[in-house]
Every structure is written in structure tokens, then in C-alpha cells.
Amino acid sequence: MNSSWRRFCGTATRSTCPRSDPRPARPASVNSRGSREAAFVYAVSAAGVMFSITRSCSLGELLDCACDPKKRGFSEDSMGEFEWGGCSDNVKFGEGFTRKFVDARDRSQRDARAVMNMHNNRAGRRGVAKNMKMECKCHGVSGSCTLRTCWRAMAHFRKVTDYLKRRYDGAVEVTMNQDGTRLIVSDRNHKTPTKSDLVYFETSPDYCLADDDTGSLGTVGRQCNRSSLGTDGCDIMCCGRGYDTTRVKRSRKCECKFHWCCFVRCKECSEIIDVFTCKGPSNEFVTPNQRQINIPTSRVIDQSDNIFHGSFHGPGQSKASNALAIPRISQSQHEDT
């Protein structure tokens, strides 16, 4: 849960996480509001519980459940006939357990926030179920696949959180009906939310600046995507303050090849990328002189260094002996082209 929230709040939106702490900033403040962010937190929490319980069932770690008992015998798909085998993840058990456990407190209250929480919990559980995948193994001479054995498996949890992030982007603003029994859309022109949609009834703060009341740390120093027009883009993420550019050298796996049998071998390739970070109010992180300096072509910051400290070390030199400051470039959204 923490890693999913950090990836979400650290890169996708203005909702903030401390850079040195893997936990979200003031999670209680985030959850105390009926906002989009709270909707996402509840959904991904419910999904995480369901994922963990279901995985434990498949691994035989729980006494009350096992693999999906309904996946037995033969069946068909677009590729033809196959036999159910292996261990299909028992998402029905995981869903039922999570519904009883996670919804228990809100089920007894039944106010607007409780209804919102339970709706988003259900959306999170559906996110796990909707991203199930079929995995098969072929049997036959030289892998001819004359017989297939298949089972249903949960997708990687990152795929589930990516799915819920898209639901966050399309979350629906709602209000409670006069009877206090269900949620209805605030805007009559908006579609009625489905069971898979996230819902909220309180507008989110802008998260541009640090605010203890909302748990926001602001977006100063946050990385942004210069080419994106979404919430992770520099235009939105930096709240119109502009951004700094730092050139970074990093390693990545490349030219990967499969070797029989059965492993993948890759080479290590280096690449130089530009990292963009949001400026502070009144250019507090950039001096006028630094704005006039171009990115150096011969000096880059190694990925293992802290890019926010601008340290640099060249070939054959230690970081301590060659700690040269790399200037940032101040790039404002309003600069002349």
C-alpha cells in the first residue's frame, strides 16, 4: 500500500510524499477529507487487502481457503479447448473476506462519508478482479501445445494501481440523496458512477504549497514530466512557477536476449536524461546568475548521486575528490521563445 501510494502521490499528481520518508505525508489529513485522494487511498487499500488474502490462499498459508475450487475440468477459449489445472487464484474468497473486514466500520455508520468509503472500497476490489489474467502451459512434443493446462491468476499489483489511477482521473463528484440512502451525481450532466468508478464529494486542495491542515508538502522540488499535458506535467505540477533542469546519467538494461533454457541475459547501457523539478515561490531555489547558465555537455550527474545536491564525479575520480556543483537552469513557463 505505501509503495503504491508513494508512486501515485510522488509522480502522478500534486498530492505529496516526503522524499526521504516512504510513508505519505499526513495520511490522516488526506483521509479526513472526502476528496479524490481519499477515494484513491480507500480503493487501493481495499485492493491491497484483497490481493494479499487471495495470494495467501493460493500459497496455502490460510486454513480456511485454497485455490479456486470451481476451476476444474475442461473449458474453451479463442484458442480452443484446455484443461483447468495448476492453482487458480481464489478471488471470490479474497473479495468476500475483504468486504467483511474493510467495510465493517463504515457499514455501521451509513452517513455520506461511510457510503462513499464503501463505494470506493468496492471499486478497489473490482480493480483486482477485473485485471485477472489467464496463464497456460503447453504440453506436447517439442512444445506443440496439443494440450493446454490453464489457470486464472491475479495481475501484478502495479497493474491494479495503474487501473485505479485511471479511475482517480475520472472520479465522479457526488452528493447524498434526500433520503440519505445513496449517492447521486452533483452535476446532472455527468454520467451516473458505475460500481467501478471512484466517487468523492469534497473538492481537493491544490497542493501547490505546504499546508499542515491538508497534509500537503507542496510541489517545490518535485519531479515533473515536461512533455505531459496531464497532472504529472510540469505545467500543472509546478503550479505555474516554472521548473529547473538537471542532466543525469543512469544505467538501464538493454539488448536483452532469451537463452535456452531458460534465462534472459541483458547488457547494461548508459543514457543521459534531463530531470525536471518544480521551482519554489519567488524563485527561492534559483539565483539570477544560475538562470543564465546552459546545461553543461561534458558534466553529468551519475544516477547513484543525489541529483538534488548537484554532485558530480568524472571517470577515475571519487565523488569526494571531484564534488563539483552542477548549476540548474531555470525555465519559466512565461519565458520568451
User: What does the pLDDT read at residue 282?
Assistant: 66
CB 71 within 8 A of CB 93: no
Of 69, 106, 60, the closest CA to residue 91 belongs to 69
Of 240, 214, 245, the closest CA to residue 327 belongs to 245
Handedness of CA 313, 317, 319, 325 (dihedral sign): negative
Domain extent listing, the chain: 34-201, 224-331
Which residues, given as ranges, of the chain have pLDDT below 50? 17-27, 283-299, 304-337
CB 139 within 8 A of CB 111: no
User: What does the pLDDT read at residue 30?
Assistant: 63
Q: How many alpha carbons lie under 13 Å from residue 188 in its C-beta half-sphere?
A: 0
| Domain boundaries 224-331, CATH class | alpha beta
Rounded to the nearest angstrom, the gap between the alpha carbon of residue 53 and the centroid of all alpha carbons in its chain is 21
User: What does the pLDDT read at residue 14?
Assistant: 66
Residue 100, C-beta contacts closer than 8 angstroms, at least 6 positions apart: none
User: What does the pLDDT read at residue 324?
Assistant: 35
User: What does the pLDDT read at residue 224?
Assistant: 93
